Amino acid sequence: MNRDWIDKDFYQVLGIANNATPEEIKRAYRKLAQKYHPDANPGDSTAEERFKQISEAYGILSDTEQRQEYDELRRLVESGAYRNFDGGGGNPFGGGGQRIRVEDLSDLFGGGLGDLFGGRASRARPGPQRGADTTADLTISFDDAVNGLVTEVAVRGQAPCSRCGGSGAEPGTAIDVCPTCGGDGVVASNQGFFSFSQPCPQCGGSGRLVTTPCAQCRGRGTEVRTRKIKVKIPAGIKDGATVRLAGKGAPGQAGGPPGDLLVKVHVGTHELFARRGDNLHLTVPVSFTEAALGTSIEVPTLDGKVTIKVPAGTPSGKTLRVKGRGIRSGKKPVGDLLVKIEVVVPAKVSKEEKKLLEELSALDRDDLRAHLRTS
């Protein structure tokens, strides 16, 4: 159990409740890490320190075992039991101090006293830490979204050092096991009744010693640079969808795995079609006589033209469906093409056209009067 945790409220650092779920912890970390990351705040020492606090809090609370140990220590401190064992309240087994029963401590720790008593250290090991997830935006054309493609995204941020490959050591030199901690990364510190663990002061918790640091990254193993990462966009992807690339995010710490890269896809518009789900929508103009008498017209699709029949008497705004001419997305059925008929009324007509329309109008009025008389 790490004594450094006593004065730190990791839940407050991330702005979450003590009973936050793993997903809530992750969301809080991502939001704060993006805000205070050194790359987003160059030269801001306050933001850098805040980022370190956020990273430490997430490292503890995202690890199930370390979070459990941290919560147990908090309960012990809040109950006052730690103060008695740490010298602030006297001898716990008599001699004028408040007497603390082992059964009471057992309740605080849920019965798990095996790692705290009998001279063994409760080892809150730093251990490998997974790298943070990173994000990138990608804009593609409507046709590329329909057909799918393989392309590249440029991602700038922390990446494994291009010279040492992330080891932190100059290529060709050795990396030794730390003699102080034996490669564990932690050492035990006896504090009276308790035995606490803390990061090894010689290796900083990594468990290894780099005798000749990399000349490029100075032993850190990472550097800020722009990486071009290949990404496969599946056919039928929608605007705003996210493609996850496992292991392409920020490097891990102390040998931990890298995070993921989340690519948010933005799809451009099409000059003819509008997309709703997997269906395509198209507006086609027809003349008044074509709508009245009926006709056949050619309409475009994503892969050529098709001929559709416009029934006689089709009103403006009616939608005709062409099955299977929409978008194919994964294993779902192919969407449809929905053609909206727009009856176009001419702004100007010739004398002959005007005469014919007046005769037609008169016939329409006679038909309407006859209909009213019979009804």
Please report, in tens digits, the pLDDT of each residue of the chain (375 residues total).
Answer: 566 677 788 999 999 998 899 999 999 988 998 888 877 888 888 888 898 898 888 888 988 888 888 888 888 777 665 554 444 444 333 333 333 434 344 444 444 444 444 334 344 444 567 889 999 999 999 999 999 999 999 999 989 898 988 888 899 898 888 888 888 877 876 655 556 677 787 777 777 888 888 999 888 888 999 999 999 999 999 999 999 999 999 998 766 789 999 999 999 999 999 999 999 999 999 988 889 889 999 999 999 999 999 999 999 999 999 999 999 988 889 999 999 999 998 778 788 877 877 776 676 666 555 655 565
Angle at 143 between CA 138 and CA 148, to 5 degrees: 65
**CB 104: neighbour CB atoms within 10 A?**
11
Instruction: Tell me if the domain spanning 129-158+221-269 has CATH number 2.60.260.20.
Output: yes
How confident is the model at residue 47, as a pLDDT? 85
How confident is the model at residue 202, as a pLDDT? 76
Torsion of CA 208, 214, 219, 220, to 10 degrees: -120
CA distance 308 to 357: 27
Domain 274-344 fold is HSP40/DNAj peptide-binding domain (2.60.260)
Instruction: Tell me if the domain spanning 3-79 has CATH number 1.10.287.110.
Output: yes
From 105, 113, 118, 119, select the one nearest 75 (Cα to Cα).
105
**Global pTM?**
0.56
Q: Which residues contact 6 (CB under 8 A, 6 or more apart)?
A: 73, 77, 82
What distance, in Å, lies between the first and last C-alpha atoms of the chain?
A: 93
CA distance 156 to 10: 29
How confident is the model at residue 175, as a pLDDT? 86
Question: Tokens 């006293």, residue?
Answer: 113
CATH 2.60.260.20 residue ranges for the chain:
129-158+221-269, 274-344
DSSP notation for 121-186 = -B------BPPPPEEEEEEE-HHHHHH-EEEEEEEEEEEE-TTTTTS-B-TT--EEEPTTTTTSSE
Torsion of CA 175, 54, 155, 266, to 10 degrees: 150
